[in-house]
Structure 1
Amino acid sequence: MGDLNVKSVHSKEEMQQFMRYLLKDIQALERMLKEEWFETDTIRIGAEQEMCLVAPNWKPTHLNMQALEVINDERFTSELANFNLEANLQPQELRNKAFSLLHQELKETLDKAQDKINALGAKIVLVGILPTIRKTDVEIENITPLDRYKALMNALKDLRGEAFELRISGIDEVNLQQKTAMLEACNTSFQVHLQVKPDEFARKYNYAQALAGPTMAVAVNSPLLFGRRLWQETRIALFQQSIDIRTFTEHLRERSPRVTFGNHWLEHSVMEIYKEDVARFKVLLSTEIDEDVFEKLQAGITPKLRALNIHNSTVYRWNRPCYGISPNGKPHLRIENRILPAGPSVPDAIANAAFWVGLMNGIEDEYPDITKVMEFSDAKAGFFAAARFGLDSKLPWVHGKKIASGELILEQLLPIARHGLQKVNIDQDDIDKYLEIIEARTKSAQTGSCWMLDSYSKLGKEGLLPDEISTAITASIYAHQYVGRPIHEWELASIDKIATYEPSSLLVEEFMLTDIITVQEDDIIDLVANLMNWRRIRHIPVEDKAGKLVGLITSRMVMRYYSERDLHGDKGELPTVKTLMNPNPITISPKAPITKAMEIMQKNKIGCLPVVLDDEEDGKEKKGLGKLVGMITEAEFLSITSSLITRLAKQNEHQKNAVVK
């Protein structure tokens, strides 16, 4: 959980003052390490559970501050977007039933929160990226209204100096720009903390890096973004790109992104990371600091190192070092695993944690120094391969070998994890329970991402609309999570999980065509006629080279042209699109409800509405031109009508069968 009592850096004097505190914290930490201040006799684990809040229509509901008020539990806190929350679980000593206790607290915490927010009409969903999330949900107006988040967004925007770009390719593709870094808010994770001894930190951190690939491969749970099928763990690419302040240059200068895996093994201590982060990354946030760290050290009091922790919270390493103070007043070091997505279920989340912690404790007996048997570049490549392909990935491993991720997990890593948990006297029932979940998930090849992609294909074959598919998947996730079964036992998503489906609540962006054929003003009419014939379409938008809408041409216009040409004869001219098109078509915003689109089309007796972005996104009928992002035609409304009629027929059939029984 980040420090909420922070602010933007408004002047060079503020930045310089904060940097002085930051450098003092670095010096103080180095001294504490040298003088052995740190707790070494107890090892703890902890976790932070991020979650999505959804409305009865299974779309994000923007009321996290109201939810925090009714939940009234200090373990809960806000996140960047106003449809997310985070629960911070109590640290557990790594022994006996630590994972059962973590499981029990997480379930109790989520159940309590769900019970409280029922009055708000909200539900909690655990998933890496919510399938029903829309681009409008991550606009700046949906930021949580706290100074930390506003300061962070402003700082990133100022450093970037231009729009943030997102380009991710998988089965489908996403290419878009956003003025702010709010796309980061799509991601939710299950962050696991493992306390480590200072003299073991470098070795343990290197293990965490080496294990990132296989840990990710079996845990993937975010394949969908804005209805597109992308990476098995799209969070990884999305997070890095959404807050990437680097811009393109003519020269091959290396600049590290703030979301980073790292570039080399650690050699000696945690100080290497902290010093590198101060050297590479500009200060984003500041705060009022009244702590004199050296006075505290002189008095034998552990300092909070607030400047260091604030700066560290704005550098997003996938395995992040953390400094903290234990209940006994001694400082400690932790490795925060930020790789794991939220969900798919509470048992799955705890199983992921147990697998990782077991590996971290057991691998040293197999490979005393991982840097001697594995190249760092292989560890990094394995992490990104696992994020892209999940259990379908082939991962670089020790001695330069490449092994299928499932084979690596089943034959080598599960025995290591079991041994690692036994070493710290974890209860045998806990070991069996949670590692058997990992084993079953791997053998069945049903991760959260595989389940969502298979459900997507199944529902698509049943003729569902894209929005219906995303909604059915989200509703099914909630239903399965509520029961509490691990992902390998889930049946695929079903439309039956949506008790009511109300397309009237859809926004244009959820409903519009995005795969559209366009022409330009200088194209000839014969091309338009052939395109309409080949694609069986009646409307083609006209755009300029920058992708801005400049007109609309319809089949009626083309037919009129050919009719008049046949009647009056060909005059030898080669007419272009510009001579026939409507240069001022009525358009609509992607943020408008589809009921507004229907109203406009009926009122103006038109069969098509281009969807455009401009500087005035008010959801109203417009005759101004902007960036073309989609189209709505009569065919889309026919699809909705057809789908609703089919579902009503099925519901009636079920009701009749129930009466007969």
Structure 2
Amino acid sequence: MGQDVDRSRFSRRDSQRYRGKVHRCLDALAAMLREHPFAQDEPMTGIELELNLVGSQLDPALSGADVLAAIGSAGFQSELGRWNIELNLPPRLLPGDEWRHLEHQLLDELAVARDKAGDYTAQIVMIGILPTLDRDHLVASSITEGDRYRVLNEQILGVRGEPIRLDITGAAPPGRPGPAERLIADFDSIIPEAACTSMQLHLQVSPDTFAGYWNAAQCLAGVQLAVGANSPYLLGARLWAETRIPLFEQACDVRTPELRNQGVRPRVWFGERWISSILDLFAENSRYFPSLVPVAQETDPFAELRAGRVPALDELRLHNGTIWRWNRPVYDVVDGAPHVRVENRVLPAGPSPVDMVANALFFYGLLRVFVETDRPLWSTMSFEAAEQNFITAARHGLDEPLYWPGTGWIHPDELVLRKLLPLAHEGLARWGVSTEVRDRYLSVIERRCVLRRTGAVWQLDTVAALQARGADRPTALRGMLERYIEASTINEPVHTWPLPA
């Protein structure tokens, strides 16, 4: 939910009025999709990157507000946890060497952030879940100050009516000692959500092609997770390859067990069907999900259209921001022109800038090919298979096969090496990405799959090696994180990171 909120108490009439305004916005969007021109520029991309701050002992550093003030840049913003900040890179085209320049810009921005964080004896960490978090850190006082976060916390807990419960059973990785581990914990705030730090990828597309891009992104979500997993630990427990997935789903779940048993849809959602229009997703949002923050504006979207102005659709956008689809639709207005984009929320932050750029370009290249193919991928894959791939990859990473049309069951690394990497090269070529850029970043994905070394695998192997030396789990996690920060900072891809001798 990126919009600011200036109220904290809402009446029944507020909710009723807000629902009406959401439907009014939905009708206006439907009219615009039929009759109004949308931005038709070359597709723009964007990145949002959530970062962690740690202190000298590698515990969370609750100095986010001070670090942001020291940075003094609108590109950096607050996040839910006081140990989090977010970097928003400006929109950028794909062709040529643009994403090589993006890597340099990312490195420059991170260098500034590290310098300012150092003034507060803090370091920056790009990782899916900070492995040194413990339960004493996940308390309400760790929520960033401000109405936006306080209202969201109050509303989610108010609707839920009981503490937030995390209940995650790990997957015992093949070849690793010990049984599957389990984490059960209750919290009196939504602060566990702040443990999830991700890289969010945006792609602006035309309304006519949006459905194809969203469907393709859903098909690719499992592969993205399998090759990009970077979150195997939470509160000291070894859980999923990408534990951020169940953690986020449970931390933002407003449903009681009884409502889950009735089949009420979760607000962190993969979805349930392929779509034919962006309107399908916004309509589902208004149909299935009650308001969390019912702030209604006075502006009428149809009055704006009659006056020749582009409506902001504030209520529709606010409502959409409280429903956390893994691939989320976005409506926005920039320089007086409306546009739509896919926001891909699947990937964790890290391990290094070059890894993250590689993950992004792998995704963008495959999207282009699968949208333009004569027989769309989603016409040969059931939605249920795409969702099961997503869950399997989050739980097991590279260690369990996924279903792929025309191939059947295949391990993700083999799928990438045999089939998807050539397609990603082709897709990036269609975007106009230079050969040098394609080779640099897709070779990172290739070597990661050849060596079967994702961020999650490196973390697991490093902790196992340190524990084999006699370290207990907390000490091993700190030792791993110390090595992680060093390798990430010098921008080496994770498949080259050494393990403890």
Shorter chain as denominator, the TM-score bin is over 0.9
Tell me the number of residue pairs that the alignment of Structure 1 and Structure 2 aligns: 492
Q: Which residue of structure 2 lines up, in the alignment, with residue 617 of structure 1? A: none
User: SS in structure 2 opposite 1:153?
Assistant: helix
Give yes or no for the alignment of 1:222 onto 2:260: no
Q: Is the 8 A contact 1:225 1:234 kept in 2?
A: yes
Pair 1:271 & 2:285 matched: no
Equivalent in the alignment of 1:112: 112
Corresponding residue for 1:142? 142
Q: 291-300 or 388-397: which moved more?
A: 291-300
- Residue 113 of structure 2 aligns to a residue whose secondary structure is helix
Written as runs of structure 1 = structure 2, the 5 A alignment for 1:87-106 is: 87-106=87-106
SS of residue in 2 equivalent to 1:273: helix
- In the alignment, does 2:297 pair up with 1:280? no
TM-superposed CA distance for 1:434, in Å, is 0.6
8 Å contact kept, 1:217–1:393: no
Counterpart residue type for residue 239 of structure 1: F
* Structure 1 counterpart of 2:209: 200
Question: Residue 54 of structure 1 aligns to which amino acid in structure 2?
Answer: V
Q: Which amino acid aligns with 2:241?
A: Q
Counterpart position of 2:334: 326
- Is 1:425 paired with 2:432? yes
Distance 1:367 1:62, change over 3 A: farther
Partner in structure 1 of residue 399 of structure 2: 392
Whichever residue aligns with residue 433 of structure 1, its letter is R
- Distance, in Å, in 2 between the alignment partners of 1:113 and 1:351 is 22
Partner Cα distance (1:467, 1:376) in 2: 40
User: Is residue 372 of structure 1 aligned with residue 384 of structure 2?
Assistant: no
Match in the other structure for 2:73? 73
1:194 touches 1:334 (CA, 8 Å); kept in 2?
Answer: yes
State the SS of the aligned residue for 1:80. Answer: coil
Structure 1 Cα separation of the partners of residues 305 and 259 of structure 2: 48
Match of 1:300 in 2: 308
In structure 2, distance between residues paired with 1:457 and 1:480: 18
Q: Secondary structure at the match of 2:258?
A: coil
Contact in 1 for aligned 2:128/2:231 (Cα 8 Å):
yes
In structure 2, what is the equivalent of residue 309 of structure 1?
317
Give the distance between the partners of 2:5 and 2:299, measured in 1 at CA: 15
Aligned to 1:261: 270
Aligned to 1:538: none
> Given the alignment of the two structures, is residue 446 of structure 1 paired with residue 473 of structure 2, yes or no?
no
Structure 2 Cα separation of the partners of residues 292 and 464 of structure 1: 62
Listed as ranges, the matches of 1:244-643 within 5 Å are 244-249=253-258, 252-266=261-275, 268-287=276-295, 289-327=297-335, 329-366=336-373, 368-399=375-406, 401-492=408-499
Retained in 2: the 8 A contact 1:191–1:340?
Answer: yes
Deviations 1:440-467 (A, max 9, x none): 1111111000000001110001111222
- Aligned counterparts of 1:154 and 1:400: Cα–Cα separation in 2: 48
Aligned to 2:59: 59
- Does the CA contact (< 8 Å) of 1:9 and 1:15 recur in 2? no
Q: Note closer, same or farther for the CA distance 1:61–1:323 as it changes in structure 2 (3 Å cut).
A: same
Cα drift, residue 289 of structure 1: 2.1
CA gap of 1:250–1:141, structure 2 versus 1, over 3 A, is closer
CA change 1:136–1:493 in 2 (3 A) is: farther
Alignment partners' CA distance in 2, 1:364 and 1:71: 40
Match of 2:218 in 1: 209
Q: What is the CA–CA distance in structure 2 between the aligned matches of 1:335 and 1:254, rounded to whole Å? A: 27
Q: Which amino acid aligns with 2:426?
A: H
For 2:469, give the aligned amino acid: E
CA RMSD of aligned residues (A): 1.6
* CA distance in structure 1 between the aligned counterparts of 2:194 and 2:444, rounded to whole angstroms: 29
**Gap runs ≥5 in structure 1:** 495-661
How far apart are 1:102 and its partner, in Å?
A: 2.0
Give a deviation string over 1:160-218, Cα, whole Å, max 9, x none. 11122111111311011112222111100000001111111112111110111111100
Report the TM-score when normalising by structure 1. Answer: 0.73
Contact 1:4-1:147 within 8 A present in 2 as well: yes
Q: Aligned AA for 1:480?
A: A
Distance in 1 of aligned mates of 2:280 and 2:349: 30
The alignment-based identity, stated in percent, is 37
Range 70-79 or range 367-376, more displaced: 367-376
Q: Do the aligned partners of 1:374 and 1:399 also contact (CA within 8 Å) in 2?
A: no
Q: Which moved more, 1:200-209 or 1:292-301?
A: 292-301
Give the Cα–Cα distance (whole angstroms) in 2 for the partners of residues 79 and 98 of structure 1.
Answer: 28
Partners of 1:472 and 1:493 within 8 A in 2? no
In 2, Cα distance between equivalents of 1:201 and 1:181: 32
**Separation in structure 1 between the aligned mates of residue 7 and residue 483 of structure 2, nearest angstrom:** 40
Q: Is the 8 A contact 1:8 1:152 kept in 2?
A: no
SS at match of 1:145: coil
**In 1, are the aligned partners of 2:46 and 2:90 still within 8 Å (CA)?**
yes
Tell me, yes or no, if the aligned pair for 2:226 and 2:412 is still in contact at 8 Å: yes
1:7–1:286: 8 Å Cα contact kept in structure 2? no
Q: Retained in 1: the 8 A contact 2:17–2:296?
A: no
Amino acid at match of 1:415: P
C-alpha distance in structure 2 between counterparts of 1:152 and 1:215, whole Å = 29
The answer for the alignment partner of 1:154 in structure 2 is 154
- Normalised by the length of structure 2, the TM-score is 0.95
Query: In the TM superposition, what are the counterparts of 1:149-188 in structure 2 within 5 Å?
Result: 149-170=149-170, 171-188=180-197
Matched residue, 1:242: 251
Rounded Cα–Cα distance in structure 2 between residues aligned with 1:286 and 1:366: 42
Q: Is the contact between residue 21 and residue 296 of structure 2 (CA under 8 Å) also seen in structure 1?
A: no
Asked if the contact 2:370–2:376 (Cα under 8 Å) also holds between the matched residues in 1, the reply is: no
Return the alpha-carbon distance in structure 2 between the equivalents of residues 363 and 128 of structure 1: 28
Residue identity opposite 2:317 in structure 1: N
